[in-house]
């Protein structure tokens, strides 16, 4: 299988879906002529033209709302937020219009929209540009939320998201765009709501989403090599719907769990996962579930400090050792 | 307004071509809105429904006149004061009243309430509770039409208070920049809740003039005058259909009741005289009825009969709503995700609900 | 002590602080001449005039941002959101400007603002008007979040919030405005970050915030009367900072906990509380922590159904029995 | 611009009263900004800092001219392209450069980065990364001044792309309605990232005209011409000071570098000729230097000396930044809550951080 970047995987997914369905349209700031601030849409404007790949002004509430409205008539907009941090200027359109219109219309209206872009810290862009709102969005019944950790997952999930009839919030990571993974040439889709065991293990479950999955894989190597501990790494992939079965099965096997995320801790995704595990696998737990999240302050700018603010393999190892 | 100008609206081609039956239909629609709302108000006071109820009474002519011009590819979207638009777009009184009562037979199965009436099959897209939240949605409808190559437009209504939400301005810029066939109709009833126009908005001549900054044509109309509104709306529709350009149209109107039925101050921020003055001299229903009588196409008796029919229809709707069942507890979880309601392939996967 | 309503308690707190500090100013839609959509500010415009009690247009992002800016210069704005649901149109101003300006300026700028208003379902106003974003806001380091359940707490916490030098998100409940409690005539403040044991008990801890506290108190009565179970009711009062000690002490005493909130479940406040308890009192738990949240769908309009959507004493009793 | 008009700006009272030293100081400030940025660019390319770095090079005259008029009760706030405003407001190169390097000696202790320079003691309120997010903050500063009865104003800068954020419009309405002494200065450099003005904004004559819809006076100025900017800014300041009324002032300018240093397309959406043309014929630094030489108050040699001083100052700043320590891990948790940093009474109570 060819090695391609996470960025290219997304780009391929978008191109394939643009080709497949003429109702798919990409919208966002700098997505067309500029090829995307992070080049995820590179070449698509040249290939598909100004009708299918559309630059917008800096009006997130306006163009997200516009895309929601268009989706009600059967258009399938894929809207880029240059950063998910900017979702806060269009939060109302996402939560109330995309998230509630189906319900409030008694099921008469569907909203097949994808909103995508990077949601991560770690690139020294400061507090306002480093938000990770997957927990806010997944709190909202009516929205789906996916956070792919690899190029393979990014491609398969993006194609599924575009074909999905519900609004899908698709969270990428600028630190992953340049990373490579094996991705098959043949078409494939990954259903939303299915977690992936990225590494099998028997002693402890490391449960994560997004880039934290890679942090866990590194930690698992260290745990194996230096401590003889066999860690299983579960990648949630999709936050809502959530594949409870897979993560509970892992915990039932290992009886210990460390949850790792780049989200802030208070009411982060892993608060929910911890709450779930302790409720549904209480008697299986040999130790309290441990969590590692971003250090609980606004994202600091200072480059070396910011690295410490996000979960590191070392912190995961230490936490794992504390309960093994 | 000058007598001559008023006559010229009546004489405009778009109005001259109206048949007497069409003109009478406008009256019928206004009566239907008014009687429907009176009946709903009674039901509200009897505790048959909850939450808000934003009456359109006094503004009926706006929905009737502007929507009267729409063809089969033209769409409508509005805010929470949505009963008039819903009925004129063709929704049934029964499904609307049942929605107010929170019944399973309601247009949204009791899930939306009075602020959220929808009938996409009638190209009526709601009913939206967040002030100005519908303005980019209306833009999106226009976007979809243009994208699909359909010659149509979207009438997007908003209030005089709603113009101060930022998203409306973002929508204006997008509408002009992308050349979209959206028509923003500002129903200026002089108040946003208890705040008069002058206390909520800075402007030069009028609110619609803000469109100028976006190079969007704008106009204003008197909401008492159906002929005038039709002329000005028609110009906007033609601009949308022919040139795919947006318009902002401000219509002066008035609401008789409080902001919502729960508005305890309804009679405080406006003098009773102001309200009475409107009812007496500017009631659009009364004025249109008089005009039709003057034009010799309707007698007072016929008008009364129309009124009676409207009352009767509202009564039937109310009974229907009353006798309908409530949704069940299980219904709380339907219509959240299409994939749960209508699974595709081997889905749905994973847990969707977390209680 | 006189019995006064939750509304009056807030009104008194606002009046006292307006009188005490001339930099305190109330701002919001309909707060002045109309006396407040829910009459919390009744009489204050008449008493303090147009400089101190200010009506705004329907421009939440604009006036919240304006208030944040004014607070940087030492004004102490108390901003009403007619509903906390409308915070989504000003989310960026709250999270990025109020929440991050102190950090991003390296502590040079304080933002002593209070944003207040009702955050609750249960009044048949539909999905867009029934949001309870305390979990989103408490996720955000830099913001404080309080949710008083009684008139007494509302008054003391409001006065503390206004004097606080950090941005405080103050969440009220329209269903409580008309309820009465005893409130002393003498001045008092309640420090933010201190929970309150609203009822002592020995068999199970019911932990809640906002109106759910009252639901728990009713449930505790039933548990006592009908099942002989002694339930302790812990009112968090403040979500961030959080009084961990008090809630953990309760759990260490009772060994069982039911968490009750009107928040939506996924990443709700109680996800965090559950996560905390299982981590810090793992060995003290005799049963999995149970949670009761709003039924996990957008708020339904239908009045009788909406009642079922929020936690009821009966559901709390059933959950408690399931682990007692 | 007509020769005569240009002369009349120079002859305006506000410019005639300038001393030679003041005029030279403008040049010095422009050199300081430019050399500071060149040094920072070198440091960026050497990996001394991360994230974004939005160079103001080409626009220096705007900050210099407009801020030159401010008195002790006048305030400044801007967006992320903030180096020029920061230096002109009196921030030291060292604290700014250290901030870029993420050092504990930085103006925000390394917590804010280049987009977030603040100096409230100099009435400079940042440095804001969310497009147009600063526009209501500027309004709030003006609000506070008026509230406290202080005769002052706030200059709030934004870009040509930022005008399309809704919150700016909400701010305009509030500014006019509440009569606040805020002056919005649109630094129109023709591009928002890679998008030209024409592709981002619909307008009639110019962006500032949108102010008209809010009954706010507006004007425009040529960013090459310090005298003109001073005249037009002064009019706005007087309006703010005397009448407590807002103004929108659009200033035509140009940035030489990409949107940020990380802008890979910097030379794609604009032709190299366009950029060269600006540098050659419209460089504000060069133009002002020439003018001062023409006015006979400066020699080329003196100008070179000023340039040298600026370079040297920037070098010192860079060394200072380089040699400064990074914050410690514990510093991550300070400056989040004042109550934690400076406890009052028996506080703080409860848990503030949740790792
Ligand atoms: C963002 C937002 N802010 C506030 C409200 C509360 N609210 C509902 S309607 C309304 C007044 C709107 O007035 P206007 O736009 O003139 O419409 P009208 O009610 O007169 O039809 C307000 C303040 C809301 N629903 N959404
Ligand atoms: C709400 C928001 N959307 C998008 C961005 C990303 N962004 C930062 S600057 C910028 C361009 C702004 O252009 P302009 O206002 O003209 O200012 P200039 O950079 O030219 O000074 C964009 C799109 C952002 N920071 N905030
Ligand atoms: Mg109105
Ligand atoms: Mg620009």
Confirm whether A188 is domain-assigned: no
Mean pLDDT of chain C: 98
Sole residue written with tokens 């001073």: D230
Taking the C-alpha atoms of residue C102 and residue D335, their distance in angstroms, rounded to an integer, is 6
Q: Is residue A253 within 8 Å of A118, Cβ to Cβ? A: no
Burial of residue D302 (CB within 10 Å: 0-12, 13-18, 19+) is middle
How many percent of chain C have pLDDT more than 70? Answer: 100
Ligand 2 residue neighbourhood (C-beta within 6 Å): A 29, 58, 60, 82, 86, 89; D 81, 129-131, 159-162, 189, 191-193, 259
Joined tokens for residue C137: 């806001």
CATH number for A258? 3.40.50.920
A12 and A45 in a common domain: yes
Tell me, what DSSP letter sits at residue D89?
T
Each domain of chain B, given as residue ranges in start order, spans 22-324, 325-355
Who's near B32: CB < 8 A, 6+ residues apart? Answer: B87, B93, B310, B313, B314
> Residues of C with CB below 8 A from B192's CB?
57-58
Nearest atom (ligand 2) to Cα of D187: 21
Q: What confidence tens digit (pLDDT) does each residue in A181-206 have? A: 999 999 999 999 999 999 999 999 99
Nearest-neighbour CA in chain D from B209: distance (Å): 6
Collapsed DSSP state (helix, strand, coil) of residue B214: helix
Give the domain range for residue C217.
196-323
Q: Taking the CB of residue D267, how many other CB atoms lie within 10 A of it?
A: 12
Q: Quick one: pLDDT at residue D15?
A: 98
CA dist B306 and B300 (Å) reads 10
For residues D32 and D63, what is the distance between their CA atoms, to the nearest angstrom?
12
Cβ contact, residue pair B139, A66, below 8 Å: yes
C257 Cβ neighbours under 8 A, 6+ residues apart: C204, C205, C206, C207, C250, C251, C277, C285, C289, C290
The ipTM, to two decimals, is 0.98
User: Which of A29, A32, A58 best tests ligand 2's pocket when mutated (most atoms within 8 Å of CB)?
Assistant: A58
Distance CA D159, CA D155 (A): 13
**Do residues C71 and C140 share a domain?**
yes
Pairwise CA distance, residues D214 & D180, whole Å: 13
Active-site entry in A29, A60, A80, A306: A60
Q: Can you give the pLDDT at residue B203?
A: 97
Our CA-based measurement puts residue D175 at a distance from the nearest CA of chain A, in whole angstroms, of: 20
Name the residue with the closest Cα to ligand 2, atom 19. D192
What distance in Å separates residue D58's CA from the closest CA in chain B? Answer: 28
Which residues is C3 bridged to in the sheet?
A: C182
pLDDT at residue B289 is higher than 80: yes
- For the CA of D54, the closest atom of ligand 2 is 19
| Cβ neighbours of B115 in C, within 8 Å | 125-126, 128
The rounded distance, in Å, linking the Cα atoms of B250 and B43 is 33
Q: And the tokens for A167?
A: 């609004």
What is the reported pLDDT for D3? Answer: 66
**CA nearest D110: which of A304, A256, C227?**
A304
**Chain C contact for B146, CB < 8 A?**
no
Residue A214 belongs to what H/E stretch?
helix A212-227
**Residue B6's pLDDT is what?**
74
Task: Among A154, A182, A210, identify where a domain stops.
Answer: A182
Q: Which of D99, D104, D70, D68 is nearest to D83 (CA)?
A: D99
Q: In D, which residues are within 8 Å of B215 by CB distance?
A: 202-204
Tell me, yes or no, whether A11 and A152 share the same domain.
yes
**C35 lies in some domain:** yes
Enumerate the residues of chain B whose CB falls inside 8 A of the CB of residue D200: 177
Interface residue of A275, A291, A322 to substitute, partner C, most C CBs within 10 Å: A275
Q: Which ligand is nearest to the CA of B260?
A: 1
Find the D162 Cα to ligand 4 centroid distance in Å.
8
Atom of ligand 1 nearest to the CA of B189: 20
Number of neighbours of residue C111 by Cβ within 10 angstroms: 25
Q: Return all residues near B137 (Cβ < 8 A) that are at least 6 apart.
A: A65, A66, A68, A69, A72, A97, B77, B125, B128, B156
D197 → chain B, closest CA residue: B177
Do C67 and C205 fall into the same domain? no
CA angle A14, A74, D165 (to 5 degrees): 70
Q: C187 in a domain, yes or no?
A: no
Q: Could you say which residues from 167 to 206 on chain D have a Cβ atom under 8 Å away from some Cβ of chain C?
A: 167, 170-171, 173-174, 177
Beta carbon of B150 within 6 Å of any ligand 1 atom:
no
Q: Chain D contact for C248, CB < 8 A?
A: no
Are residues C302 and B51, on separate chains, in Cβ contact within 8 Å? no
Q: Which chains does D contact via 3+ CB–CB distances below 8 A? A: A, B, C
- pLDDT score of D264: 77
A232/A216 Cα distance (integer angstroms): 9
SS3 call for D80: coil
Given a contact cutoff of 8 angstroms between Cβ atoms, the answer to whether B316 and A207 are in contact is: no
pLDDT digits (tens, 9 = 90+) for A22-38: 999 999 999 999 999 99
- Contact A125/D129, CB-based, under 8 Å? yes
Check if D51 contacts A (Cβ < 8 Å): yes
Whether C10 and C38 share a structural domain: yes
Q: A235 and A123 in one domain?
A: no
Atom of ligand 2 nearest to the CA of C92: 1
Evaluate: CB of B61 within 6 angstroms of ligand 1. no
C25 and C99 inside one domain: yes
Q: How confident is the prediction along chain A (324 residues), in pLDDT tens digits per residue?
A: 899 999 999 999 999 999 999 999 999 999 999 999 999 999 999 999 999 999 999 999 999 999 999 999 999 999 999 999 999 999 999 999 999 999 999 999 999 999 999 999 999 999 999 999 999 999 999 999 999 999 999 999 999 999 999 999 999 999 999 999 999 999 999 999 999 999 999 999 999 999 999 999 999 999 999 999 999 999 999 999 999 999 999 999 999 999 999 999 999 999 999 999 999 999 999 999 999 999 999 999 999 999 999 999 999 999 999 999
Q: Against a cut of 0.90, is the pTM above it? A: yes
- Is D211 near chain B, with CB under 8 Å? yes
**Neighbouring chains to B with at least 3 Cβ pairs closer than 8 Å:** A, C, D
CATH number at residue C84: 3.40.50.970
Same domain, A258 and A155: no
Task: Please check whether residue C191 lies inside any domain of the structure.
Answer: no
C184-198 pLDDT per residue, tens: 999 999 999 999 999
Q: What percent of chain D has pLDDT over 90?
A: 95
CA A79 → CA A28, A66, A67, distances in Å? 6, 10, 7
Q: Could you give the CA distance from residue C213 to residue C195 in angstroms, rounded to a whole number?
A: 12
Among A182, A217, A246, residue at a domain's last position? A182
In angstroms, rounded to a whole number, what is the distance separating the alpha carbons of residues B173 and C189?
A: 49
Q: Chain A partners of B118 at a C-beta cutoff of 8 Å?
A: 104-106, 108-109
B69 C-beta closer than 6 A to ligand 1: no
Q: Both A7 and A77 in a single domain?
A: yes
User: Is C293's pLDDT higher than 90?
Assistant: yes
Measure CA C149 to chain center.
7
A246 assigned to some structural domain:
yes
The domain boundary, picked from A119, A154, A182, lies at: A182
Structure token digits, residue B340? 């749960």
Identify the band that residue B4 occupies on the pLDDT scale cut at 50, 70 and 90.
confident
Q: Are residues C148 and C12 located together in one domain of the fold? A: yes
Q: Can the peptide bond before residue D249 be classed as cis, meaning omega within 30 degrees of 0?
A: no
| Residues C30-52: tens digit of each pLDDT | 999 999 999 999 999 999 999 99
**Nearest chain C Cα distance for residue A274, angstroms:** 5
Partner D contacted by A180 (CB < 8 A): no
* Closest to C58 measured CA to CA, from C24, C22, C34: C34
Beta carbons within 8 Å of C294's beta carbon, 6+ residues apart:
C121, C132, C261, C262, C263, C264, C265, C309, C310, C311
What are the pLDDT digits (tens) for C131-163?
Answer: 999 999 999 999 999 999 999 999 999 999 999
Given CATH 3.10.20.30, say whether it is the number of domain B22-324: no
Give the distance (Å) from ligand 1 centre to CA of residue B160.
9
| Closest CA of chain D from B202, distance in Å | 5
| Per-residue DSSP letter, A296 | S
| Residue C229 backbone dihedrals phi, psi, to 5 degrees | -100, 130
Regarding whether C275 and C148 lie in a shared domain, the answer is: no
Q: Average pLDDT over chain B, rounded to whole?
A: 96
How does pLDDT run across A248-290, given as a tens digit for each residue?
999 999 999 999 999 999 999 999 999 999 999 999 999 999 9
**% of chain C with per-residue pLDDT over 90:** 100
Q: In this structure, is residue A190 part of a structural domain? A: no
CB contact under 8 Å between D125 and C63, yes or no, is no
Query: Rounded CA gap, B73 and B69, in Å?
Result: 11
A307 inside domain: yes
Chain C residues close to B165, C-beta within 8 Å: 58-59, 89
Domain count, chain C: 2
Return all residues near A272 (Cβ < 8 A) that are at least 6 apart.
A135, A138, B354, C265, C266, C267, C268, C271
DSSP per-residue string spanning B299-331: -HHHHHHHHHHHHHHHHHHHHHHHHSPPPPGGG
**Other CB atoms closer than 10 Å to residue D344's CB: what's the count?**
12
d(CA B60, CA B210): 25
- What is the per-residue pLDDT for A317? 98
Q: How far is the CA of B140 from the centre of ligand 4 (A)?
A: 27
Question: Which residues in C lie closer than 8 A to residue A88 (C-beta atoms)?
Answer: 91-92, 95-96
Above 60 in pLDDT, residue B307? yes
Is the minimum CB–CB distance between C279 and chain D shorter than 8 Å?
Answer: no
Residue of A nearest to B104 (CA): A106
CA of D193 to the centre of ligand 2 (A): 7
How many Å apart are CA B190 and CA B58, to the nearest integer? Answer: 12
| Catalytic residue, candidates A29, A80, A129, A262 | A129
Q: Give the span between the Cα atoms of A200 and A273, in whole angstroms.
A: 19
Residue A36 lies in a domain: yes
* CA proximity to B147, closest of B184, B185, B181, B183: B181
CB contact under 8 A, C68 and D137: yes
Q: Which residue has the tokens 């519908």?
A: B134
Residues of C acting as catalytic residues: 60, 129
Q: Residues C14, C133: one domain?
A: yes
C39: left (phi over 0), alpha (psi -120 to 50) or beta: left
Do residue C302 and residue B326 have CB atoms under 8 angstroms apart? yes
Give per-10-residue mean pLDDT for chain D (355 aa).
Answer: 76 97 98 98 96 96 98 98 98 98 98 98 98 98 98 98 98 98 98 97 97 98 98 98 98 96 84 93 97 97 98 98 98 98 92 97
Residue nearest to atom 25 of ligand 1 (CA): B130
Could you give the CA distance from residue C11 to residue C16 in angstroms, rounded to a whole number?
9
Cα C170 to averaged position of ligand 2 atoms, centre (Å): 32
């Amino acid at each position: 299988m060819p090695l391609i970047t996470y960025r290219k995987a997304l780009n391929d997914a978008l191109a394939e879906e643009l080709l497949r369905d003429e109702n798919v349209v990409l919208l966002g700031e700098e997505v067309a002529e500029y090829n995307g601030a992070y080049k995820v849409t590179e070449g698509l404007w040249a290939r598909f033209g100004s009708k299918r790949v559309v630059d917008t002004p800096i009006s997130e509430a306006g163009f997200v709302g516009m895309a929601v409205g268009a989706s009600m008539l059967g258009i399938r907009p894929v809207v880029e937020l240059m950063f998910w941090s900017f979702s806060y200027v269009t939060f109302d359109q996402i939560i109330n219009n995309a998230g509630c219109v189906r319900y409030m219309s008694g099921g008469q209206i569907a909203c097949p929209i994808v909103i995508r872009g990077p949601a991560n810290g770690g690139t020294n862009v400061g507090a306002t540009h480093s938000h990770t709102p997957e927990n806010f969005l997944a709190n909202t019944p009516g929205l789906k939320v996916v956070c792919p950790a690899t190029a393979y997952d990014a491609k398969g999930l993006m194609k599924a998201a575009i074909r999905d009839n519900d609004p899908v919030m698709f969270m990428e990571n600028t630190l992953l765009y340049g990373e490579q993974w094996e991705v098959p040439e043949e078409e494939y889709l990954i259903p939303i709501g299915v977690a992936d065991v990225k590494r099998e293990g028997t002693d402890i479950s490391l449960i994560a989403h997004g880039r934290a999955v890679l942090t866990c894989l590194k930690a698992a190597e260290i745990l194996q090599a230096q401590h003889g501990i066999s860690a299983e790494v579960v990648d949630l992939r999709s936050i809502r719907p959530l594949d409870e079965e897979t993560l509970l099965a892992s915990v039932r096997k290992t009886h210990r769990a460390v949850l790792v995320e780049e989200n802030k801790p208070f009411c982060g995704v892993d608060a929910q996962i911890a709450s779930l595990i302790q409720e549904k696998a209480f008697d299986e737990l040999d130790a309290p579930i441990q969590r590692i999240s971003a250090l609980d302050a606004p994202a600091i700018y200072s480059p070396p400090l910011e690295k410490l603010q996000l979960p590191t393999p070392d912190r995961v190892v230490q936490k794992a050792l504390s309960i093994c | 307004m000058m007598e001559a100008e008023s006559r010229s609206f009546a004489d405009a081609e778009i109005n001259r071509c109206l048949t007497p039956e069409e003109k009478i239909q406008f009256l019928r629609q206004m009566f239907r809105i008014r009687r429907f709302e009176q009946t709903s108000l009674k039901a509200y006071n009897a505790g048959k429904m909850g939450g808000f109820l934003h009456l359109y009474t006094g503004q009926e002519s706006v929905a009737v006149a502007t929507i009267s011009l729409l063809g089969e590819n033209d769409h409508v979207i509005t805010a929470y004061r949505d009963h008039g638009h819903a009925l004129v777009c063709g929704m049934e009184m029964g499904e609307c009243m049942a929605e107010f009562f929170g019944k399973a037979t309601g247009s949204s199965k009791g899930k939306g309430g009075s602020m959220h009436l929808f009938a996409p099959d009638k190209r009526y897209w709601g009913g939206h509770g967040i002030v100005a939240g519908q303005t980019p949605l209306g833009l999106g409808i226009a976007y979809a039409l243009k994208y699909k190559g359909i010659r149509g437009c979207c009438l997007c209504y908003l209030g005089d208070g709603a113009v101060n939400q930022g998203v409306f301005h973002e929508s204006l810029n997008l509408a002009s920049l992308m050349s979209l066939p959206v028509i923003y109709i500002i129903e200026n009833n002089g108040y946003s809740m208890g705040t008069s126009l002058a206390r909520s908005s800075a402007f030069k001549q009028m609110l619609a003039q803000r469109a100028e900054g976006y190079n969007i044509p704008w106009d204003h109309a008197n909401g008492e005058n159906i002929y005038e509104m039709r002329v000005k709306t028609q110009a906007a529709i033609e601009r949308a259909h022919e040139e795919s350009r947006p318009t902002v149209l401000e219509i002066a109107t008035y609401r008789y009741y409080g902001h919502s039925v729960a508005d305890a101050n309804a009679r405080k921020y406006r003098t009773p005289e102001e309200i009475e003055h409107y009812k007496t001299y500017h009631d659009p229903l009364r004025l249109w009825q008089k005009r039709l009588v003057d034009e010799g196409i309707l007698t007072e008796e016929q008008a009364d009969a129309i009124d009676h029919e409207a009352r009767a229809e509202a009564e039937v709707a109310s009974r229907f709503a009353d006798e309908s069942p409530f949704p069940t507890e299980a219904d709380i979880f339907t219509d959240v995700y299409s994939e749960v309601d209508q699974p595709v392939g081997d889905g749905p996967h994973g847990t969707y609900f977390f209680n």
